[in-house]
Chain A
Amino acid sequence: AQTVTQSQPEMSVQEAETVTLSCTYDTSESDYYLFWYKQPPSRQMILVIRQEAYKQQNATENRFSVNFQKAAKSFSLKISDSQLGDAAMYFCAYINFEGGGGADGLTFGKGTHLIIQP
């Protein structure tokens, strides 16, 4: 079974600074996607960034970028120029597309609570 581990229950960063959230995963499959989702308090989960396992280039979306180390099964999220609106729970997630073609759904980590200090 696939597992996703987020070892940082909480992180704090000063506004405008850079923060990196860690995620490791365990899988024997080769065809999978990784995601970072953001869940603000009492609000819905929204996608931050996506990485396809077959792509060597790290994904980037504006201030958000990932460091995808496939051999090490590591997928960290870097947030640059942190803003107050970035405060939320961040979840790392994995989905396998081999065999069932995504039928097993997303496997999530336990999340990292990101605090932005003004």
Chain B
Amino acid sequence: DIVMTQSPDSLAVSLGERATINCKSSRSVLYSFNNKNSLAWYQQKPGQPPRLLIYWASTRESGVPDRFSGNGSTTDFTLTISSLQAEDVAVYYCQQHYGTPRTFGQGTKVEIK
């Protein structure tokens, strides 16, 4: 199974500042068929199901604000919130969609400093 490890477990950022979350996979999730990385990011607020933010490591889902961006390749990925807003307080998860079993990172809690 591909193990996904996020860092940090939590971070506190001032409003308007940048937040960066890291995600590392135990092996490559580069899909040779299209040369894209099979990595997705989700946001989960309390009492709600997760919401898709990013897939193929850097493709923003429709309706997701452009302050959210994804980068990285092969085994190392980042989610960046360029200017943190109050509504971005949530837990963020990375997930590999390279194959089964699908696996998630343990989550990163983002709070306001």
Genuine A/B complex: no
